[in-house]
Amino acid sequence: MLIRVNSNKTAKPVPKLSELARQNAVWSEFKYPRGSEIFGEAEPADYVYQIRRGAVRTYKLLSDGRRQIGAFHLQGDILGVENDEVHRFTAEAIVETTLWTAKRRRLFGRLAKGDISAANHIRDLVTITLEHAENHLVLLGCQNSLEKVAAFLLELDRRLEQPDVMVLPMRRCDIADYLGTTLETVSRALSSLQEERILSLVGTNHRGIILHDRSRLAQRATSA
């Protein structure tokens, strides 16, 4: 039995625009095909981006191909707000993605002019990124594979806010590189959680996930 899942057609309109987006009306829209690079690590950070539709992964690569995904960015998220002049991650569209872009200088120019509220707002954005990275450290350093997958699902459940079926935009491989494990281990953990009736995998490539018991899933996410 397969339940057909439409990818994102029923998603709600782009959530609350951030302060940053509101303050600057001059955003241009661009469309990135699946797998295309939005910006590269160590490239000049000339633009700031907001996701209108789609999903983005940001990652660092080691010379031998190992990859650590630092974050997934979903509809409404801002990315590319670097304090430095260059990006510290590579950003790629996971699925076909529509972005709004704005000149970074236009934002940071306001700082030079002494716009304190813009400065505070950018600091807040950096802080949110930092908090996420700090929690990610605990995940990578302290959790076993089942806990990692459970925590990942809870994070995405919270962020996607789709009550019925959560549709993952990313592949197992992306999840694995986010969690510091392998795609096989992710697949096994998901099968195991399905075995326990905590969730159901549905749709093409099992990208759809129905959470039956969030509280039991939360138990799996810490101190298994």
139 binds DNA (CB under 7 A): no
Task: Give me the amino acid identity at 71.
Answer: A
Residue with tokens 């549905």: 202
Partner from a copy of itself, DNA, none contacting 215, C-beta within 5 to 8 A by type = none
Provide the mask over 187-216, with x wherever binding to a copy of itself is found by CB under 8 A and - wherever it is not. Answer: ------------------------------
How many whole angstroms separate alpha carbon 199 and alpha carbon 152? 13
Instruction: Return the structure tokens found at 51.
Output: 């996701």
Shortest Å, Cβ 210 to DNA: 13
173 binds DNA (CB under 7 A): yes
By C-beta, is 61 or 210 nearer to a copy of itself?
61
The CA–CA distances, whole Å, from 77 to 14, 72, 219 equal 9, 9, 28
In 143-213, alpha helices (H): 145-160, 172-179, 183-195
Shortest Å, Cβ 161 to a copy of itself: 24
74, 63 in Cβ contact below 8 A? no
218, 150 in Cβ contact below 8 A? yes
60 binds a copy of itself (CB under 8 A): yes
Which residues would be at the binding site for a copy of itself (CB under 8 A)? 60, 62-64, 66-68, 70, 83-84, 88-89, 111, 114-116, 119-120, 122-124, 126-127, 129-131, 133-134, 136-138, 140-142, 177, 179-180, 222-223
